[in-house]
Chains A and B, each alone.
Chain A
Amino acid sequence: MNIDPLKIDEICGENSTGVEYVDPGNDPNFVFAKDVNFEVLPLYDVDGSVINVNSWFECAHYVTGGWSNSLIIEYFEGDKFVFFLALSLSVIYSLYTYRSKKVVQ
């Protein structure tokens, strides 16, 4: 798992508890302790699922697992990109050949 401190700070805010984030692993008995000073924060995954986190530690854990505070999923519209690229190339090439033929004439 890749821990990105900058991303965690950005989403979860500053770590005011002083407890450093370490991966709790796959322990099924692990329970995230609620931090009363932490304002409940909703996080979303790529499928749009939502979870409310109650502590900075819990937030850091979910962010490291790929969850985000934003539902706006970065989706690159590749089909549109290819279409506009091909369209532009066709138009530019047509104009170029049209112009070269005029110059020759």
Chain B
Amino acid sequence: MTSTRNKVIVFIILILVLMPFWAHNSSDTIEPKRITNEFIGYYQSNTCEISLLEVYAKNIGNKNNISYNNNYYAGTECFGKVTGLDKVGDRFIVSIGTNTSLLFLLQSITWLLVLLLITPKNKKNVSLKFATFFLTVLFTFQHISEARFYERLNIYYKKFSLDIVDNYHFLGTFFIYLFIFLVIDDLLSKREEVLINYLPFSFLFVFTLGGMNINFYLILFSYLGLKNILKSRNSFIFNSIYLVFSFVWIATANREQNSFFDTDKLRGFINSSNNQSSLIFWIIVFFLLMNGLMYLYKTSNIDIFKIKTNFLVTGFLLFVFGTLGSTSPLFNFFNNHFFGQNKRGISNLTSIEGNTWRGFSASAESLGEFYGFVIVFFVILYIKHKIPLPKYEKFMLLFVIIGLYRTNNFAVMSSLLLIIFIFFVEYSLSSRKYKTIIYSIGLGIFFLGAYYIVHNLNYEYLSTQLLYEASLHSNFFTYTDNYGKTLQIETLFNEERIYYLINIIGGDSISSSLRTLSEIYYQKFNLPLVPNFVAILSTISLLINRSEMWGIFFAKYSPNTFEAMFGYGPNQLNGYLYNQQVRLDVPLNKITGLYLPHSSLLDILVFFGIIGFLLGIIFIINTLLYKSENGEYKYLLIFLLINILKSDSMLYINSLILLAISFQLVRTKKIIKYE
């Protein structure tokens, strides 16, 4: 019965995904042509007539470099059809109309059908009924608060006014959200106990709505979050603290600079606009997201077999679809459309500059962490719970390992080996004596290595490298070019006149964080044997190859006192990206690139400030030391925490969900089903 139902759902999904890109007027005389230089004009003059699949079928075997891009701005009459053809270099770029409003509806229906594939398990069905109306209004409000984002990507976008009756764009958006929440209310309340077992798929089904700055998981978790608040399952401490933070964010928010962030690969989980209303929107949505995760923590029943299989299937499919998308432009297009990627998958099989292959994912780092997480998870289940691997799972695990290798994520690989080794020692060796010997040797090697590095690289160099990098990217010596700036900074660093450079020459033109770092580095009091904080940070940044990126971070990060203490607010990067004027010392072709902090800890610092950062640390320590119910999964959590130290993974909602699963596994008091 379930199998037949699922087959019908899959069939409907296929129709919904493919049909809009096949539908065309077969009675007209406008035929698709082979894509060559000769027919560029043909495709430019015959717009909205030829469907994507028609063009693709006509160009099978065409050796030209062709890619299919979305044109979100086009009207609904052009949906699924060619809206233009351009040649950039040797690449032919075919624009396919995917109107944002219609795409929103189609993708939402498709993904709701995907959720319908989860077999319902809940005994009682608690519905939110009319409270969903609030969520509908909230999410529609984003189209007003982030007008600058949406008006670029939808021909139907009309500025909000009191004359709402004529504004079909807003009315349409409102009713799409209403429809989504009506279905979610019915669908999710029957599945919330088992939902966690399917969350590994969040790495495959990224669920970022095309042409929109919203992720479908935010919609789902907002619903659960509202349920958590309304059904008195709320966490009083968290909500009270968040309320204080929210007050500070709204009351002290500095929104003088009218900056706009195009969201890039963070689309769906970041604020694009630097204004008060969008700040309020993201404050509420993040609050609901956190409550949603708490609700899931309280209601979920983990089925270890199911979650294990789903992790493996996801890892395997990520590799398969990543490879397909890399080799076929059509798959590349449909991967983006069906799975809701926030950034197009990589379009060739070779690595970027011999470095990483991110395949399906927007970030090679977060993908590597996912693969590593799956491997650690399997090791834990195999060693601690003696859960064997069937043959097909071994086969899929092989692809996960290949996937990890291709991401070339050294940090993940080395931490993976370390964590597996420690776990093996802890759970396979019973003798305390052997364990002590092994750990002593390990610590000995660590300290010897540290001594070797400090001895060879020189303490002065190690401790000031971060300040040096930050200075290189700051707005010093504006009368000269970057080369001249570098020479002058180098001279002053060699003369150990760093304080003079940063505080006297730099003065107010450099970031407040860089000034603070230099003040800490040159603090008047000195605790014997305790290394300077900046020196430690600088050494760590060098050892994990982050000195340049963190240098850029400190050059850009210039909060005032309130922003330093409480942050800019959740998902607010505008202040960090645009408030401080910098002069990046990078090659010209990279100067306009997106420079994220390259550490989730720094991301947290930007969003929630020093107080939020410290509260987060307290929560982690509390979890690891006092709230751990299932000790073996602490290794998973530690593995992730080590890796997010040098990656921006927390800016991606699926990585945040992965972290939430780890916390859940460690903290849950419910019996985890192992059979």
Contact = CB atoms under 8 A, between A and B. Distances in A.
Contacts of B75: 76, 78
A94 B46 CA distance: 41
Contacts of A86: 105, 172, 175-176, 178-179
Contacts of A90: 175, 178-179, 182
Given A2-B30, A4-B29, A6-B29, A82 B182 contact: no
A1 B45 contact: yes
B29 A83 contact: no
B102 A82 contact: yes
B545 to A, nearest CB: 48
A76 B45 contact: no
B42 interface: yes
Interface string B588-600: 0000000000000
B190 to A, nearest CB: 12
Interface size band for B = 20 to 34
B29 A93 contact: no
B99 interface: yes
A86 B183 CA distance: 12
A76 B77 contact: yes
Interface in B132-185: 155-156, 168-169, 171-172, 175-176, 178-179, 182-183
Contacts of A80: 168
Given A94-B182, A97-B182, A78 B99 contact: yes
Nearest to B158: A79
Contact of A78 (B41, B76, B175): B76
Contacts of B77: 76, 78
Summarize A's interface: helix, strand, loop or mixed: helix
A4 B31 CA distance: 12
A79 B45 contact: no
A13 interface: no
A79 B155 CA distance: 9
Interface in A45-88: 66, 76-83, 85-87
Given A2-B30, A86-B105, A86-B179, A79 B186 contact: no
Given A66-B45, A78-B77, A79-B169, A89 B179 contact: yes
Interface in B31-87: 41-42, 45-46, 75-77
Contacts of B179: 86, 89-90, 93
Interface residues of A, number: 21
B101 interface: yes
Contacts of A83: 168-169, 171-172, 175
Contacts of B155: 78
B184 to A, nearest CB: 11
A6 B186 CA distance: 53
Nearest to B176: A86
A44 to B, nearest CB: 17
A78 B72 CA distance: 13
A78 B183 contact: no
The 7 closest A-B pairs by CB, nearest first: A78-B76, A86-B175, A83-B172, A79-B168, A79-B156, A76-B77, A82-B172
12 contacts: A1-B45, A76-B77, A78-B75, A78-B76, A78-B77, A78-B99, A81-B102, A86-B176, A89-B105, A90-B179, A93-B182, A93-B183
